[in-house]
Chains A and B, each alone.
Chain A
Amino acid sequence: MAELPNTTMANECKVKLKSKDDKIFEVEYAVAMQSQTLKNALAHTGCTDTALPLHDISSQILAKVIEYCEYHVNAANTISEKDVKTWDEELVKHMDQDTLFRLIVAAKYLEIHNLVDLMCKTIADRIKDKSVEELREIFHVQNDFTPEEEEQVRRETKWAHGE
């Protein structure tokens, strides 16, 4: 829930964002307010023509973030919750893992809570019901246990492994 911004600022302010690869994106004030990080930054600087640099976010990911925020700002009072949910699901349905991961990191940095939630749920759904080996492979986790160490951990939590 965003606070009601000062009307003049809301109507006239356009927020400029600069991606990692120096691309400038211009968004409405209300859209930028979906991000707690941007909200705090703008509270200090006020409406400015200088673009806010986002060093770790590529233009591809930033575009997706903006797409999400713009939809949600417009949907706030006009679109049913069910339809919003469907839109969210469509957004992530065919997203490749790399994009998914980069998006959640960006969302966390920008503190866009409902996007972080959506991303967590999506990744959790992809983790669910996979075996340990599958998880290692899909998510590029390097196994640094020695065989003995791994055996010990398995023993400690053997009920979780369905034994």
Chain B
Amino acid sequence: MEEENKVTLHGTWFSPYAKRVELALKLKGIPFEYVEEDLKNKSPLLLKYNPVYKKVPVLVHNGKPIAESFCIIEYIDETWKNSPQLLPEDPYKRAKVRFWSSFIHQQLYEAMLTVMKAAGEAQGKAIKELLEKLQVLEEGMKDFFPNGTPSISNRNMGILEIMICSLLGPYKLQEEVIGIKIIGPEKTPLIFSWLTAINELPLVKELAPPQDKTVALLKFVRENALKSSSA
């Protein structure tokens, strides 16, 4: 039956949350239909499938919707048990992965957004906070990679790689827009080598939107925020 095991992902090209789910699906080799949403004109299906948040991403599997990117990824890992396993088997390791995923999602993402949308003294303060948080992550990753970051392949990409990739994969473009370096081999050696390895994967390259499109969007977000804060 055609409907059996039908998977649809509602997303937008620029949503890092949708990107996470896309990565997870592709890593597991799960065939899916992708629906690009226009957030200014959300489809009736999106509103039906995610009435609480009305946001992307939403995964629909056999007609049943799941929202919230982290919930979706755990669902994918529990439903399609083939490799790669996105979360480790051991409960304590799972707890550590969930902890750091949450850190990247809540702390880093918010800090990055604040830097993106601020200027002058406010931006200076926001950058300091972002750099501090990146140091916290760098420290935390020493626990995961005591011998330096391993080589990354489609077989050992997990949820942490997905989370860091969706947020900081385009770090060079983000640095271009905010005008300051945030990741580098001197200050954040583990994160730097980790991201470099992840960004080299053909799958990650394939899913990255065109660079000029991303830069244009980041600039737009920044200019918009600066305009409204000075209005």
Q: Does A pair with B?
A: no
